[in-house]
Amino acid sequence: MQEPAPDATHAAADAAPKARVAIDTLRRLETPEGIEILLRLAGPVPRAAAFSIDLLIRVGAYLVLLPLAALAGVGLGLLLLALFVLEWLYPVFFELRSGATPGKRAMGLTVVHADGTPVGPAASLLRNLLRAVDFLPVLYGVGLTAMLVDQDFRRLGDLAAGTLVVHREDAGLPPSLPAHRPLAPPAPLGLEAQQAILAFAERSGELSAARRTELAALSGLAAAGDRDPAGALLGIANWISRGKPD
Amino acid sequence: MRQQHFEQAHAATWHRLESLLSVLEKRRVPPPAVPVQRLPRLLRSVGAHYAIARARGYSPGLVARLHSLVRRGYRQLHKPSQHWPRRMLGFVAGGFPRALRRHGCLFWLAAALFFGPMLAMGLACSADPTLIHSLVDSGQVASYEAMYDPTNRKLGRMPSRQTADDVMMFGFYVWNNLGIALRTFAWGLAAGVGSVFVLAMNGLVLGAVAGHLTQLGFGTPFWSFVSGHASLELTAIAVAGTAGLLLGRALLAPGRHTRAAALRANALQAVPLVLGAALMLVLAAVVEAFWSSSTLLPPAVKYAVGGAGWLLVAAYLGLAGRSRAAGQGPDDQA
């Protein structure tokens, strides 16, 4: 296989966890329930994008509240209170409600404890209060440096609070293989190859017909001269998941 | 077992978990008809299916779908507990003073770093009328002098703002003072240097202004203004400094932990201190905006209230929450 789908590489890493520790942003941790779950860490770029979205939302809120200043006394007081709340408590409020600020949610990120559980009040307060340090000297200079040095992309606030920013789990592909008459593979296949073929079959709907044919021909599993190598590969995938035709 | 049979055998369970999760994710408090109590068992079985699917090398799409279900369920199962009002009450009634007393030594250190320079500078400035200019720029000195001019009707404000609403000043005090306190804490991350600097610098300036105004003969308006909220405000700054020093100590003297582990442990213990300091400052802002600025009451009354305030703060921080002596309840980390 020339181009294993991304999921197939994880599967390959699963097959030999000790031998090949990939340098990637995937963290495995075992839950108390005895299940190993995977957390995909978020790097500086999506987090900066999330911050920008949040900043826009906050600026929008300021603009909406600005007319309060016209009311002088009371209005100005409320404006200053709102300024304080938006500056310091905006992220805490949203992180405790749903695990992510609107910006993070838009980028598909979420904040979790180091053990993968949703962030709680103490950790959320900490990581957001310490933003005051991460923000220094300008534009998150300290925070960015810390993120680039730390292997889990944690800024100082995350380090102190013991939190991680991870990608929200995506729903995954619909686990329905395109139906095809099961075909026996030409030779016994290893687990890794089987998974690559299954991944190909599950993703085949997203590929163009020409690309499907090209990938299938590269696999070398279809018989030479076969006019429909993609179909042959789908047949093998069906053989793997369903067994022999009845 | 082939994947297809596996899917047929367990699809119903996966659907049950999925529909339960989508309800729980939408509603904070699910309707009573939703079988919430099934979540742990459903999650356990789907977790087992996920492990089996991975071990048997079923298709990546199926494994990803099960993994996503497991993670969503895990998130719901470990959602932070709610009960905010009760936790807050427990925190105010005892959690905060207990947390502070646990770090009593550090609190006295922060207080010394804050009140020491304040006293020294106050005495020096009341003896030497020009000394304040070495620390505070002349424009600000002039504005302080105008604020506490005995001919003012409203205390603690610029004369031009005498009619300004108390609510505005409340907003200003919250925004300004809480900002200072939270930064005092956060900058403790710079090995404590930031906190020490903020504490000492604020102490110096406050002492200088107090000494200078007293020496000018503006003592009565100044002291009658600040006496009301000083106990809450100054103590809160010292408490925030304690929290900052706690962060600094983790980096300077981590003890038998790595610095990262010490930082995590100390930061968690600093949270109640910061929260307590913030609450004290909100209370101080209420007093400062609606009580201290009033000129209707004779200074003697205000001094008496101010003195009572110090006693109350000391009693609260020193005594509250002692009845459950050994209790280090969960409310300590509100």
Residues A179 and A203 in one domain: yes
Across the range B216-230, mean pLDDT stands at 84
Q: What is the average per-residue pLDDT within B168-176?
A: 86
Report chain A residues whose CB lies below 8 A from the CB of B169.
77
pLDDT tens track for A46-105: 999 999 999 999 999 989 988 877 777 778 888 888 888 888 899 999 998 888 999 999
- Sequence-ordered alpha helix ranges (H) in chain A: 6-15, 44-65, 72-84, 90-98, 102-106, 121-129, 131-134, 141-149, 156-161, 191-203, 209-219, 229-242
Question: Structural domain of residue A160, as residue ranges?
Answer: 44-167
Instruction: Identify whether the C-beta of residue B68 lies closer than 8 Å to the C-beta of residue A39.
Output: no
Q: Do the Cβ atoms of B78 and A118 come within 8 Å?
A: yes
Please tell me the predicted confidence (pLDDT) of residue B112: 95
| Residue with more model confidence, A57 or B144 | A57
pLDDT of residue B203: 93
Q: With 90 as the cut, is the pLDDT of residue A187 above it?
A: no
Q: What is the DSSP letter of B234?
A: H
Predicted local distance difference test score (pLDDT) of residue B329: 47
Q: What is the pLDDT of residue B327?
A: 47
Closest Cα of chain A to B125: distance in Å? 33
Supply the pLDDT for residue A224. Answer: 59
Which pLDDT band, with edges at 50, 70 and 90, does B108 fall under?
very high
Task: Tell me if chain A has a CB within 8 Å of the CB of B243.
Answer: no
* Domain match, A56 and A13 both: no
Residues A6-18, buried b or exposed e (16+ Cβ, 10 A)? Answer: ebbbbbbbbeeee
What percentage of chain A carries pLDDT values higher than 90?
A: 20
Question: pLDDT band at A28, cuts 50/70/90?
Answer: confident
> For B46-85, how does the pLDDT look when each residue is reduced to its tens digit (9 = 90+)?
999 998 988 888 888 888 888 888 888 888 888 877 777 8
Q: Which of B62, B72, B168 is closest, CB to CB, to A73? A: B168
- Judge if A192 and A210 occupy the same domain: yes
pLDDT computed for residue B271 by the predictor: 92
Instruction: Tell me what pLDDT residue B299 has.
Output: 81
Judged by a CB distance cut-off of 8 A, whether residue A195 touches chain B is: yes
Interface of A with B in 144-163 (CB under 8 A): 156, 159-162
A30 is a domain residue: no
- Report whether B332 contacts B324 (CB < 8 A): no
Q: pLDDT tens across B9-47, in order?
A: 898 999 899 888 888 888 777 778 778 888 889 999 999
Query: Is B136 touching A (CB cutoff 8 A)?
Result: no
Instruction: Determine the residue of chain A that is closest to B174 in CA distance.
Output: A81
**Angle, CA B110 vertex, CA B104 and CA B111 arms, to 5°:** 85
Q: What pLDDT was estimated at residue A2?
A: 42
Can you state the angle between helices B3-26 and B39-55, rounded to 10 degrees?
140
Does the predicted interface ipTM exceed a cut of 0.95? no
pLDDT tens, B276-322? Answer: 999 999 999 888 888 877 777 788 888 898 899 999 999 999 988 88
Residue A147 lies in a domain: yes
Q: Answer yes or no: do A139 and A187 share one domain.
A: no
A-chain residues within 8 Å CB-CB of B270?
126
State the Cα–Cα distance between residues A166 and A114, nearest whole angstrom. 10
Average pLDDT, stretch B233-262? 92
Minimal CA separation from B233 to chain A, in Å: 17
Note whether A71 and A106 are same-domain residues. yes
Highest mean pLDDT among A165-169, A229-233, B205-209: B205-209
Structural domain boundaries in chain B = 3-77, 84-333
Residue-averaged pLDDT of chain B: 85
Q: B186-197 burial, b for 16+ CB within 10 Å, e for fewer? A: bbbbbebebbbe
Confidence (pLDDT) at B191: 85
pLDDT of residue A223: 66
Same domain, A163 and A56: yes
pLDDT of residue B152: 65
A176 or A202, which is more confident? A202
Same domain for A240 and A206, yes or no, is yes
Overall domain count for chain A: 2
Q: Minimal Cα distance from B56: which residue of A?
A: A191
Q: Which residue has the higher pLDDT, A31 or B259?
A: B259
| Average pLDDT score over chain A | 80
Q: Do B60 and A170 touch (CB under 8 A)?
A: no
Q: Answer yes or no: do A160 and A178 share one domain.
A: no
How confident is the model at residue B276, as a pLDDT?
Answer: 94
pLDDT, average across residues B230-241: 93
- Interchain pair A126, B333: CB under 8 A: no
Q: How confident is the model at residue A8 (pLDDT cuts 50, 70, 90)?
A: very low
- The tens digit of pLDDT for each residue in A194-214 reads 888 888 888 887 888 888 888
Contact A35 B183 (CB under 8 A): no
| pTM score | 0.81
Contact indicator for A160, A128 with CB cutoff of 8 Å: no
Q: Answer left, alpha or beta for residue B304, where phi above 0 means left and psi between -120 and 50 means alpha.
A: alpha
> Do the domain assignments include residue A204?
yes
| Distance (Å) from the alpha carbon of B84 to chain A's nearest alpha carbon | 10
* Of residues A185 and B50, more confidently modeled: B50
pLDDT for res A184: 80
The predicted-structure confidence for B188-203, as pLDDT tens digits, reads as follows 988 889 999 999 999 9
Do A241 and A150 reside in the same domain of the chain? no
Cα separation, A13 vs A8, in Å, equals 9
* Residues from chain A contacting residue B7 (CB–CB below 8 Å): 175
Q: Which residue of A has its CA nearest to B76?
A: A118
Residues A149 and A211 both lie in one domain: no
As given in the structure block, the two tokens for residue B252 are 């300077």
- Report yes or no: B185 at the A interface, CB cutoff 8 Å: yes
Q: Please determine, for residue A18, whether its predicted confidence score (pLDDT) is greater than 60.
A: no
Choice between B226 and B244, residue whose per-residue pLDDT is larger: B244
A60 lies in the same domain as A150 = yes
Average confidence (pLDDT) over B119-139: 87
Q: Is residue A36 part of a domain?
A: no
On chain B, the residues whose CB falls within 8 A of the CB of A88 are 178-179, 182
Tell me, yes or no, whether A34 lies in a domain.
no
Domain edge (last residue) among A167, A194, A212 = A167
Task: Clarify whether residues A84 and A10 are in a common domain.
Answer: no
| Neighbour count for residue B76 (Cβ, 10 Å) | 18
Name beta bridge partners: A41. A166
